[in-house]
Amino acid sequence: MKPTFWTLICAILLLAVPLGHAADRVQPPVPADLHAGHFHNHGPIPETSLLSGLGVHLADFCGTDLSSDAAKAVMKQVLAQRMAGITPLANKNNIIPKIGDRRTFNALAGPVSESNWSPFEFELVDITSEYFLWVEVGELVIGNVGANNVSQLRSAMLDATPSRSINPSQGIIANNNQTFGQPPNVDGDGMIDILMYDIGQGSGTTLGFVSGSDQLIGVSDGTGNERDILYLDSNEGLRNFDTLAVIAAHEYTHLIHFSYGLDNTFISEGMAEYSMVMNGYYWRGIGYISSVSEVSLPLFSWRTNPSNGGPGARDYERGGLFFTYIAEQQGHEIVGEMMRDTEKKGAVGLDSVLALRGSSLSDTILDFHTANHVNDKSVDPRFGYNEPERSSHNTFLTSPPVNGEIEAAGGEAGFPYQFSAQIEAGSVHYLRLSNVADVDFVYDTPDPTGLFKPSKYLRNRGRILLTSPDGTNTIRDIRPGSQNIRLDGNFSSATFILIQDNPNLPVGDRSSIDAFWTPLSLATDTQRDEQLPLSVTISDVWPNPFRSALQVFIGVSQTRPVTVDVVDILGRPVAKVHDGVLPMGAHPFHLNTSDWPPGTFLIRVRTDQSLVTQLVTHLN
């Protein structure tokens, strides 16, 4: 009798904790042959190239449906069952299938849609410690799948991954399990079933998928299988096995995600894209960064029309690059921690995990957009990528560059520039002033009513990359407000990177810059030496009061030895921030204050000629 879970939807969520760990799983002997073929070692798995070079339509290779109303309804039912405490099925009556056994599975044929389930006959061709591999009988008959394909898949899933993998000496399953966690165990046998068949039925480019319908217990006949299934294509997919291994890494990540509750599509697909990178298979070409319109989209964009992942799969690119950046900066483990955060999802969930590492989603978004434009770790370790496939891309300026030597029409008292643009949720705008000196500007978030000013100030922020004529770079972080901000110095360029840091919002905010400056050609070094006596400043102390972290900018008008420290109100030392030479300009310092006691403290900036202090307050 089928369980009647429909009446139990209001129960408390009970996550499906995997019951079958690798150490507990059956390990039957490896079969000696398959249809007169023999298993053999194909040697190390080769490094693979960009998927775009393999003749695959990037928008369609992942058939996992996370966005449609039907898929969301299925996942709602899955959660309802888990909330109701409906347990996994018995271990298939403790019957372990044998090589050569045949059985009928339901599978999605042609267009992968929850309405396209059909029965197919499969034959068991391989048994390992982690999975049963079933191949559609028709594909075996015509020779589309042979012993070499079975051996290759076993090697990729269990034995080895390419050299840039997080652990080349083990396969996709071990790497993914160690990073993300264990897959579900809805059928109670602690194994996954891999079903290999012609997904597109002779055409199409869907190379793999998983389905939430398989996670349902007691569904109507012909829908799902009440098993933990990974579907792989035996037609397009086997034309290039490296491609199939890439897809297996991607889709197995989706299967694991079912254990912890799927997130929004951008996050789920971004993590699956990162899994391919993490396993060392290939680096998807990042084409979206050369399109101003694509870069300007909301960060969590995911388009299902006109195609899955947007034209040219640009949303896949954005998601994969975002989680690759997080992993490079924080370690691959953090992406798994984000997946396993069962209490908080979306931007809130990502931020909660980053906060445990002393960071935040806001910092990460700003650093990510900075890295995509600068892409040079010599400027700052945060502002570039490690791998050669990522070291050459640079996002374009969103606004045309402004030459500071050319006065704007109708300009008075300097060379003014006014900028205003909508910056979408989690997105970025890049603009540049070149050949300028002594820039004064106001960075604001216009609001006709003024009612939303405080929240807009909190979720919008920016960064300026100042490049001196000698090539020296200085970074200054800024926040919107009504006050004037001064950039003293001569600059061949001042690049503004303005972001909105809340990807969960449906729309972003309008930001504006009102600036004027002296043309660089009119600001001589002699004049500057006369105009700028030695001075030090403390600015942009934020937040104040603060709790676990504090940001402060220290400005110096000449390159000079500078000591920056923090003392309590009795003069007792609390933290040494900097002790050494600082180049001319403004310098950001990020203080981890999580172990400071509550109270009032004094930031001190000292040179051989001056002392500047700033009071700050640490909340409990």
162 and 247, same domain (yes or no): yes
Mean pLDDT comparison of 32-36, 62-66, 95-99, highest-scoring range = 95-99
The pTM for the full model equals 0.77
550 and 409, same domain (yes or no): no
Task: State the pairing for strand pair 402-403/428-444.
Answer: parallel
Mean pLDDT on 243-259: 95
Alpha-carbon gap, residue 58 to 286, rounded angstroms: 12
Q: What is the pLDDT of residues 90-114, one digit of tens each?
A: 665 567 899 999 999 999 987 777 6
User: Is pLDDT above 80 for 566?
Assistant: yes
Could you tell me if residue 320 is inside a domain? no
550 and 482, same domain (yes or no): no
40 and 103, same domain (yes or no): yes
484 and 568, same domain (yes or no): no
Distance of CA 3 to the CA centre of its chain: 38
Q: What is the pLDDT of residues 162-215, one digit of tens each?
A: 999 999 999 999 999 999 999 999 988 899 999 999 998 877 678 899 999 999
User: Is pLDDT above 80 for 450?
Assistant: no
139 and 42, same domain (yes or no): yes
Could you tell me if residue 404 is inside a domain? yes
* Closest by Cα among 176, 199, 190, 193 to 254: 176
Could you tell me if residue 345 is inside a domain? no
Give 117's contacts (C-beta < 8 A, 6+ positions apart).
106, 107, 108, 213, 222, 223, 224
Which of 264, 284, 304 lies at the terminal end of a domain, its last residue?
284
Mean pLDDT on 541-547: 86
pLDDT of residue 309: 86
Give 74-133 as a DSSP string: HHHHHHHHHHTTPPPPPSGGGPPP-TT-EEEEEEE-SS--TT-EEEEEEEEEEE-SSEEE
pLDDT of residue 84: 81
569 and 501, same domain (yes or no): no
pLDDT of residue 69: 80
pLDDT of residue 60: 55
Helix axes 265-278, 172-180, angle to 10 degrees: 130
Could you tell me if residue 330 is inside a domain? no
Could you tell me if residue 157 is inside a domain? yes
CATH number at residue 510: 2.60.120.380
Full residue range of the structural domain in which residue 515 is found:
397-526
Written as six digits, the tokens of 122 are 């499969």
Instruction: Calculate the CA dihedral of residues 32, 37, 40, 43 and round it to 10 degrees.
Output: -150
Mean pLDDT on 84-94: 69
43 and 124, same domain (yes or no): yes
Average per-residue pLDDT in the chain? 83
pLDDT of residue 530: 43
Which of 509, 526, 543 lies at the terminal end of a domain, its last residue?
526
pLDDT of residue 539: 82
Q: What percent of the chain has pLDDT over 70?
A: 86
Mean pLDDT on 378-399: 88
519 and 563, same domain (yes or no): no
pLDDT of residue 25: 34
Query: HSE of 421 in the Cβ direction (CA atoms, 13 Å)?
Result: 21
59 and 199, same domain (yes or no): yes
User: Is pLDDT above 60 for 38?
Assistant: no
112 and 215, same domain (yes or no): yes
pLDDT of residue 116: 81
Q: What is the pLDDT of residues 456-503, one digit of tens each?
A: 999 999 999 999 998 889 999 999 998 889 999 999 999 999 999 999
Which of 505, 526, 547 lies at the terminal end of a domain, its last residue?
526
* Closest by Cα among 98, 237, 255 to 172: 255
**Which pairs with CB-CB distance under 8 Å and at least 24 residues apart come from 306-310?**
307/59, 307/60, 308/59, 308/60, 308/62, 309/58, 309/59, 309/62, 309/269, 310/59
* Closest by Cα among 276, 306, 280, 279 to 57: 306
CATH number at residue 560: 2.60.40.2550
Total of domains in the chain: 3
Which of 134-143, 203-212, 425-434 is predicted least confidently? Answer: 203-212
Query: HSE of 49 in the Cβ direction (CA atoms, 13 Å)?
Result: 6
User: Is pLDDT above 80 for 512?
Assistant: yes
Could you tell me if residue 591 is inside a domain? yes
Give 123's contacts (C-beta < 8 A, 6+ positions apart).
100, 101, 102, 134, 135, 137, 140
Could you tell me if residue 390 is inside a domain? no
Could you tell me if residue 50 is inside a domain? yes
Written as six digits, the tokens of 123 are 């034959």
508 and 538, same domain (yes or no): no
Q: What percent of the chain has pLDDT over 90?
A: 51
